[in-house]
Amino acid sequence: MGTSQLFTMSAQSKGEKPHDLNCLTIKELEKHAELRMDKQTRDYYNEGADSGSTLLENSTAYGKYRIRPRVLRDISLIDTSVSVFGKKNVVPIGVAPTAMQCLAHPDGELATARACKEAEVAMGMSSFSTSTLEDVAKAIGDHSHVLQLYLFEEREHSKKLIKRAKKADYKAVFLTVDTPMLGRRNLEIRNQFKLPKPYKIANFVADSDSAASETAMEGASSSAPNAAENEQKNSASTQGYHDGKQRRGPTGPVTVHTHAPNPTLCWERDIGWLKEQCAPEMEVWVKGIATAEDAHLAVHHRVDGIVVSNHGGRQLNGALATLDALPEIVEAAKGKIPVHIDGGIRHGTDVFKALALGADFVWVGRPVLWGLAYKGQEGVELCLRLLSDEFKLCMGLAGTVKVNDITKDYLVKIDKSGFISRL
Ligand SMILES: Cc1cc2nc3c(=O)[nH]c(=O)nc-3n(C[C@H](O)[C@H](O)[C@H](O)COP(=O)(O)O)c2cc1C
Ligand SMILES: CCCCC(=O)C(=O)O
């Protein structure tokens, strides 16, 4: 009997799920997903803006740190759990909001929600999902779910969405603030990305006032009387945002390319307004903070929390990797509001390092999409299990038994010449 089989049986005998011997790491999950996704989806999910250097650095930044493990500490009882949005989360890991999950698997966001419920992990739901926010809320039950929001220039759409989110028991709104314009994603442009039939940007189909709005999503039904016209509008506006020639006010049907980027967003007008709309049921967080200055402003405008994010390297290429931006943001906000982080997290040790540098919680984007493409709900569960198991192992081998024990004392920074510095 091979060692891997033995390992599998030992996991099973403890009542844990058996290993998937074809997929033991997030890297392997990425490879499996690559084979299962069509080119348009693979390019849309995996690419970063411009040369993709920020996308790459989000992951490689973790390699600048090494762990200082402590020993002889009785780590037989490790508690990886934390509390987020008033609920227990079994690990300090959540599923970041990513758009259009039906591209990866027909069950899309519903499969992700069921996996999050099973794994007891919080889910971020994109406004631009291919399932409605109500259906996702039903699928996740009373486990934590938050709604990512693109605040549209057309406030009415956003108002309705917020109302629906409250009713569906979303715990918070994550306002995405790093998309005043759409980042330049060259593969998306070259592929002339469109959501294929029969999928729809589900939240705005239910919300639409007319058949025109319903059919004008990417992948519009050709049976609509004005489908051809809308199709044309869609690709024209996509082009307009990508080449930066002009900004049209986003009137008409809600599409990703016309409505998500909002160049008018600002602290003074929009945060107060959003807090009013969300109170008292839902918290307001800002997702896409990259500097101490903006962390101070977030505290000043009394948001409930921050997600340090560069949108997975899909917006401003050349921006700092999120892990590199984290320390100054933690210094500005720690103890005042919670600081979460996303971008490039591919190992349990990455989660440990982000927490050691002061993050309270991490969110994971692409690996979940890869899990979805690999095996739907089961694949997302596998993704979450790999990261959770690795994180628990890291905690134990580093000599920590509680998430709160993880501090910068457990890390050193190592530069390119091998010089090691304590933090
Ligand atoms: C395919 C894709 C779609 C995304 N869609 C959204 C979205 O709708 N709203 C949002 O705020 N962020 C979106 N993001 C950004 C993620 O929430 C998150 O910031 C990022 O994926 C984290 O980096 P990671 O993929 O390296 O984990 C998207 C990311 C990807 C890869
Ligand atoms: C305007 C983009 C909407 C989806 C998204 O956030 C992404 O693809 O990164």
Concatenate the DSSP letters of all residues of 353-414 into one string: HHHHTT-SEEEE-HHHHHHHHHHHHHHHHHHHHHHHHHHHHHHHHHT--BGGG--GGGEEEE
Q: Radius of gyration (Cα) for the chain, nearest Å?
A: 21
**What angle (nearest 5°) sits at the alpha carbon of residue 369, between those of residues 363 and 374?**
135
Report the distance separating Cα 140 and Cα 144, nearest Å. Answer: 8
Confidence of residue 166 (pLDDT cuts 50, 70, 90): very high
Average pLDDT over residues 130-148: 96
Residue 197 Cα to ligand 2 midpoint, Å, equals 19
- More reliable by pLDDT, 33 or 205: 33
Residue 346 assigned as binding residue: yes
Which of 20-24, 47-51, 230-234, 370-374 shows the lowest mean pLDDT across its residues?
Answer: 230-234
- For the CA of 97, the nearest ligand: 1
Give tens-digit pLDDT for 323-374: 999 999 999 998 999 999 999 999 999 999 999 999 999 999 999 999 999 9
Domain count, the chain: 2
pLDDT value for 314: 98
DSSP state of 101: G
pLDDT value for 248: 54
Residue 316 Cα to ligand 1 midpoint, Å, equals 13
Position 326 in a domain: yes
- For the CA of 176, the nearest ligand: 1
231 plus 279 within the same structural domain: no
Residue 44 assigned as binding residue: yes
Residue 148 assigned as binding residue: yes
105 plus 85 within the same structural domain: yes
How far is CA 257 from each of CA 128, 177, 184, 233, rounded to the nearest angstrom?
10, 16, 12, 11
Residue 67 Cα to ligand 1 midpoint, Å, equals 28
Confidence of residue 207 (pLDDT cuts 50, 70, 90): low
Residue 99 Cα to ligand 2 midpoint, Å, equals 6
DSSP state of 40: H
Angle between helices 348-356 and 366-398 (to 10 degrees): 70
190 plus 174 within the same structural domain: no
Report the distance separating Cα 330 and Cα 308, nearest Å. Answer: 10
47 plus 156 within the same structural domain: yes
158 plus 209 within the same structural domain: no
Residue 101 assigned as binding residue: no
228 plus 282 within the same structural domain: no
Position 24 in a domain: no
175 plus 278 within the same structural domain: yes
CA-260 nearest atom, ligand 2 = 1
CA-314 nearest atom, ligand 2 = 9
Range of the domain at 112: 34-179+267-422
Which value does ipTM take for this structure?
A: 0.99
pTM for the whole thing?
A: 0.91
Q: Is the CB of 175 under 6 A from ligand 2?
A: no
pLDDT value for 241: 43
The mean pLDDT of the chain is 89
Average pLDDT over residues 101-112: 98
How far is CA 374 from each of CA 104, 118, 287, 380, 413, rounded to the nearest angstrom?
8, 18, 28, 8, 35
Average pLDDT over residues 205-216: 44
Give tens-digit pLDDT for 296-332: 999 999 999 999 999 999 999 999 999 999 999 999 9
124 plus 223 within the same structural domain: no
CA-185 nearest atom, ligand 2 = 8
Average pLDDT over residues 125-149: 97
**What angle (nearest 5°) sits at the alpha carbon of residue 329, between those of residues 326 and 333?**
135
Position 22 in a domain: no
The answer to whether residue 311 is catalytic is yes
194 plus 286 within the same structural domain: no
